[in-house]
Amino acid sequence: MSKITVVSYCHTAHATWIPFWCEQIKKQIWKDFKILFIRHNWQDSGREDAAQLVINQHLADDFDVRIISYASAPVIGDVIDHGCSQIDTEYFAHWDVDDIIHSERMRLQSEYLDAHPDLDFLGARMVGFYGDPALEMLELDYYEPNEPNKDALEHDQIKHCLLVKNQNCLGHTTMMYRPQVMQAIGGFSRSDVKLDGKSPDFETWKKAIMAGYKFHRIPQLCALWRLDSSSIRS
């Protein structure tokens, strides 16, 4: 039985990235995971049907794929919590539709979770880019020049980074965690960088680590964050 569900949520402005997202999913070396795709605040039934057709054509033969629609305030914490309530696997895995994900990402993180069943939150290294990434950035062992917090991998290092340095070393699209833990800490943060200037990811990780949950980040570069379409730049 699959232990991980990849959860991707998409508003209409990012719908053009769906074919790209499908190709990224298909490239994964390890495929024993479920997929939940959430159409967030879509209001065009024709567009919903077209997106469902594209996803099913690309992924339904190889994956357990579920596609749902969800309406709420345009705050990611709300849709993330809804996603947590909709899955039946041990872990929830983020996957933003526009980011570049290394083909080994799911294998590396799944194997690490198997070897460390006491872990609550697992991330991987991630760096941002504009336009098209340099070819060397697609390698697992690539390091950005002066990459901040590249050595923050163990729990205590991550805690120091989050709470003492007040910096976020955990890339959103690489994060995996137990849905029950998210529920136990009161859900994902409802902060919104456009409304209160705070990163909902950063606020959530701080809340969880202060509550005593265990974190780790694997050293491989598993994702490239497309800054052109992000609300958060640092």
Q: What is the CATH number of the domain that holds 113?
A: 3.90.550.10
Query: C-alpha angle 108/110/114, rounded to 5°?
Result: 115
Write out the residue range of the structural domain in which residue 205 sits.
Answer: 4-229
Paired tokens of 174: 């690489």
Paired tokens of 88: 């039946």
Prediction pTM value: 0.94
Q: Cβ contacts of residue 213 below 8 Å, gap of 6+?
A: 120, 121, 181, 185
The residues with which 69 forms a beta bridge, in sequence order, are 39
Paired tokens of 181: 């833990």
> How far apart, in whole angstroms, are the C-alpha atoms of residue 89 and residue 92?
7
pLDDT of residue 138: 95
pLDDT of residue 92: 98
Contact criterion met (CB below 8 Å) for 68 and 42: no
Sign of CA dihedral 33, 130, 167, 200: negative
Task: Quote helix, strand, coil % in the chain, to nearest 5.
Answer: 40, 20, 40
> How far apart, in whole angstroms, are the C-alpha atoms of residue 213 and residue 198?
22
Query: C-alpha angle 18/20/25, rounded to 5°?
Result: 95
Per-residue pLDDT of the chain (234 residues), as tens digits, is 789 999 999 999 899 999 999 999 999 999 999 999 999 999 989 899 999 999 999 999 999 999 999 999 888 999 999 999 999 999 999 999 999 999 999 999 999 999 999 999 999 999 999 989 999 999 999 999 999 999 999 999 999 999 999 999 999 999 999 999 999 999 999 988 777 778 999 999 999 999 999 999 999 999 999 987 654 444
Name residue 85's amino acid. S
Paired tokens of 33: 């995971």
Residue 91 lies in a domain: yes
Residue 234 lies in a domain: no
Residue 219 lies in a domain: yes
Question: In a 10 Å sphere around its CB, with 0-12 CB exposed, 13-18 middle and 19+ buried, how is residue 217 labelled?
Answer: buried
Residue 130 lies in a domain: yes
18-26 and 45-59 helices, crossing angle to 10°: 20
Our measurement of the distance from residue 24's CA atom to the centroid of its chain's CA atoms, rounded to an integer in Å, reads: 13
Q: What's the domain count of the chain?
A: 1
Residue 21 lies in a domain: yes
Paired tokens of 209: 């680590």
Residue 66 lies in a domain: yes
- Enclosing H/E stretch for 226: strand 215-226
Residue 151 lies in a domain: yes
Q: Nearest CA to 97 among 171, 25, 2?
A: 25
Residue 213 lies in a domain: yes
pLDDT of residue 229: 65
Q: Cβ contacts of residue 86 below 8 Å, gap of 6+?
A: 36, 66, 68
pLDDT of residue 232: 44
